[in-house]
């Protein structure tokens, strides 16, 4: 459990920075191609900035605003609307947690955070669609649904390294990026919930997938060809999704980049102590019934709630932590994943598990000279967080005859690595997949080629999860054979190694 808490605490520091408003040209032609009618309402989109062949539809509500009596509750499906949704840009991201501490992301790699000028709100259950202006292969395109990371406390779909326009431009697919509730709003840990629906943030993700399944045809997508992929907390979400919906996943493949739930230990606190602490600081009567405490917090301003969390100081509270993340309810988060793996209680569909060679370098405590403990600390964290959990998840699927691949990324590039000690840090693979690595400076030729090869592989999987990667030349995972796919390892293409090469001690 300490690894999950470390990830949550560290990634929560990747919160929104204060920027000026972005300067972008938004083409809002009212041609039929930029105005789409879904099953519920019409959405006015725009040509995405600097990408003449890519349409963008943002701010699309997949659920009703989670405010008032819906705060801390499961999402309610979006209702029909008569007005046209203004989808020419992103809607607000969900409310962020931020302790204000410096990280390598806040100081040097801001492209992984929310985009400049991005607003936040409790009313944030929206998704965003990038689609080709005109399909090259007809109207039924594969769909890739992206789940962002951020330790379940921060982050959002509006993040520059994660824009989907270049994948769409180069690969003729549709990319959907979703927002979901974070921190206390998505994972309240309240006693009044009685251990039921404890993870509304994860329920948001399912609701978004359902909306895409029912409506993506309007954008030229094929609901029968959807892939769910994500990174960090988004990767853990993808993995959790496979266990939560083993028999009706709606998608046909999964890509988990740097995060699984399979070896984590999740618990349930029936007293709701963390929620109760926040309630006490809001002036709620914590001696009242748990339902009255819950209603009281529901009535308070969202800004007051997050302010208490942001300002919390464990040192002033006898070292007690205050955290809000995934909680075992045995509905979408389970207390025993080993049991579910052994019984095959997961969606038995093609899966890619990917990790980076130095996950710990950017997640451990930050100093310009590297984390305390140096490379040894980085390696130890990487093994515990990324390597072993990925190995277990991949092996569980292989043992059940599921098509599964295992990737390890090693890339280091001048425009993505401000410090040599970072190596292939947590998040470093994202720009490779999205083709956005030139945000901070031009790519090297090898970097361009590596990104294209990387992206082509993800798309091969999305277009044909069963055979796409086999045809691409990647062997299915076997811990005792040359099946580990090493990327960014000095060449643009894959290098293969023994499947369990890095697993000693797991």
Contact in structure between 386 and 395 (CB atoms under 8 Å): no
Q: Which residues pair with 56 in a beta bridge?
A: 46, 130
CB atoms within 10 A of CB 1: 10
Query: Whose structure tokens read 């054979």?
Result: 481
How far apart, in whole angstroms, are the C-alpha atoms of residue 217 and residue 171? 18
How far apart, in whole angstroms, are the C-alpha atoms of residue 258 and residue 148? 12
What are the catalytic residues? 232, 359, 426
Cα 145 from chain centroid (whole Å): 10
Locate 5 and state its tokens.
């808490």
Contact in structure between 457 and 257 (CB atoms under 8 Å): no
Cα 481 from chain centroid (whole Å): 31
Q: Which residues pair with 126 in a beta bridge?
A: 61
* Ramachandran class of 344: left when φ > 0, alpha when ψ lies in -120 to 50, beta otherwise: left
Across 46-77, b (16+ Cβ under 10 Å) vs e yields bbbbebeebbbbbbbbbbebbeeebbbbbbee
**How is the beta sheet containing 35-37 ordered, strand by strand?**
35-37, 42-44, 85-86
**DSSP code of residue 27:** B
**DSSP code of residue 387:** I
Q: Look at residues 388, 382, 398, 387 and name the one whose alpha carbon lies nearest to residue 341.
A: 398
């Amino acid at each position: 459990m300490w690894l999950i808490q470390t990830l949550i605490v560290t990634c929560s520091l990747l919160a929104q920075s204060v920027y000026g408003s972005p300067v972008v040209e938004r083409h809002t032609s009212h041609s039929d191609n930029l105005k789409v009618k879904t099953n519920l309402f019409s959405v006015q989109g725009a040509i995405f900035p600097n990408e003449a062949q890519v349409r963008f539809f943002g701010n699309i509500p997949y659920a009703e605003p989670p405010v008032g009596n819906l705060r801390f509750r499961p999402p309610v499906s979006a209702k029909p609307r008569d007005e046209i949704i203004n989808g020419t840009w992103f809607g607000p991201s969900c409310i962020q947690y931020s302790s204000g501490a410096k990280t390598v992301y806040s100081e040097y790699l801001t492209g992984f955070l929310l985009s400049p000028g991005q607003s936040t709100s409790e009313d944030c259950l929206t998704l965003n669609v990038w689609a080709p202006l005109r399909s090259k292969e007809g109207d039924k395109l594969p769909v890739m649904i992206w789940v962002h990371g951020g330790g379940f406390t921060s982050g959002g779909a509006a993040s520059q390294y994660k824009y989907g326009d270049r994948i769409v431009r180069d690969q003729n697919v549709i990319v959907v990026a979703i927002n979901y509730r974070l921190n206390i709003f998505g994972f309240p840990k309240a006693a009044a919930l009685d251990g039921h629906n404890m993870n509304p943030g994860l329920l948001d993700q399912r609701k978004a997938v359902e909306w895409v399944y029912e409506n993506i045809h309007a954008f030229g997508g094929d609901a029968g060809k959807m892939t769910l992929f994500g990174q960090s907390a988004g990767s853990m979400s993808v993995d959790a999704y496979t266990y939560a919906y083993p028999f009706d996943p709606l998608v046909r493949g999964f890509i988990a980049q740097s995060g699984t739930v399979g070896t984590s230990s999740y618990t349930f606190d029936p007293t709701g102590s963390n929620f109760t602490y926040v309630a006490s600081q809001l002036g709620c009567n914590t001696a009242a019934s748990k339902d009255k405490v819950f209603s009281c917090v529901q009535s308070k301003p969202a800004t007051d709630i997050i302010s208490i969390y942001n300002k919390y100081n464990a040192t002033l509270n006898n070292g007690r932590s205050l955290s809000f993340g995934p909680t075992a309810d045995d509905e979408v988060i389970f207390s025993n994943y080993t049991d579910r793996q052994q019984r095959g209680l997961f969606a038995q569909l093609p899966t890619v598990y990917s990790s980076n060679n130095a996950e710990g370098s950017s997640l451990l405590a930050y100093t310009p000279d590297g984390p305390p403990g140096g490379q040894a600390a980085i390696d130890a964290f990487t093994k515990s967080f990324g390597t072993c959990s990925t190995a277990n998840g991949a092996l569980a699927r292989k043992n059940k005859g599921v098509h599964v691949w295992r990737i390890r990324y090693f890339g280091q590039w001048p425009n993505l690595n401000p410090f040599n000690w970072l190596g292939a840090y947590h998040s470093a693979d994202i720009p490779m997949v999205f083709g956005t690595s030139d945000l901070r400076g031009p790519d090297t030729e090898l970097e361009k080629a590596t990104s294209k090869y990387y992206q082509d592989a993800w798309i091969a999987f999305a277009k044909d999860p069963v055979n796409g990667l086999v045809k691409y030349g990647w062997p299915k995972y076997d811990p005792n054979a040359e099946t580990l796919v090493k990327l960014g390892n000095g060449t643009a293409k894959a290098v293969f190694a023994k499947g369990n090469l890095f697993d000693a001690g797991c």
